[in-house]
A = this chain, B = another copy of it.
């Protein structure tokens, strides 16, 4: 169903995969202990990059879209994982509210919301959609590409409870036990969502929204996770963890002497490039390193640059600066993350392919490749307006088969699943560490 991928370089990766497959018992035991101590996010998706010589998560999404791109064969697995998550957070729940993004014309996004709702409904919960669209007064029913429909309803606040109006005067109003955010709150958590009764569980918590979340916190937590995991299976942490650094105050739109933060940026770009160059030499990788400069907050692939030398950030033109300065919903970029670039060496019919792994609770439930024909191997595949073809994984990645080669598809997907779970664990630590004091 899914064509095999041709990974150009397989030397060190095969070594990494061999370590992962051989240590499966230790790895699963370690994960079990971690999940006893740290609550997995309700759901997450992780973008991986497979460079052949290293394999690393580059982005961990706590408001994943794309559920409609998953392999429908794995639906029972997603439902079962959601059952476990529902049992943990609210065994007594019946009513579930999803708050999607405010899009009404992005039908692929809405199809994702419908796919997500379908998973949750199949666990036996009643699911409705509460919208934050400011001027929405009445339910708005939208037609979906697959022939289905989705009704967005205005959310109401009554005291410290969030609810929806009754469907008719014969119905009671809809008071959800849990609220699942599929809206990343780039514009900040609106007042209507603040100070809710803690019995109405918010998933993920408000501070996971992009108005407060910082990638640098995530990757700091991932450093910790990657270090511990690498010690467990006896590998160099660099093989699964890109170098990174962050600058607190960068003003991309200032000019001349006012180019505040540029020195910090130049310094970190030089440092990450230098450290990466050393690792390339150590592993005999004959490539020019690059770094990705991206907004420390925000998503949607805006505010991302590929940089090959410090000069690249010194000589940004007006257009590049504008592009970097603002991400989604006017969120201004002042904090930036400098991350070692991990080239993508996976391709399908000469098109670059980036795996995205989906999890519900701590269970891998599938994933897909973003397949892109016109981009280079060192560019961001999640750029705004980017056109990709999703190619659903045909293997689940939740277990390996030690009888086969470490790079057999079932085992490669297992390694992907392990890396994705490491990122989800880092997200769990990050959310703990950044939780606002009560």
Contacts and interface: CB of A to CB of B under 8 A. Distances in A.
Interface of A: 24-25, 27-29, 31-33, 35-36, 73-74, 76-77, 79-81, 83-84, 86-87, 91-94, 122-126, 363, 396, 398-400
A25 B125 contact: yes
A93 B36 CA distance: 13
13 contacts: A25-B124, A27-B124, A28-B123, A28-B125, A31-B124, A32-B93, A35-B87, A36-B91, A76-B77, A79-B399, A80-B363, A80-B398, A124-B399
B81 A80 contact: yes
Contacts of A398: 76, 79-80, 122
B32 A86 contact: yes
B94 A29 contact: yes
Contact of A33 (B31, B86, B91, B126): B91
A92 B363 CA distance: 18
A98 to B, nearest CB: 16
Contacts of A124: 24-25, 27-29, 31-32, 399
A92 B399 contact: no
A172 B31 CA distance: 24
Contacts of A73: 73
Given A33-B92, A36-B91, A77-B77, A399 B84 contact: no
Contacts of A25: 94, 124-126
Contact of A92 (B32, B87, B400): B32
B74 A76 contact: yes
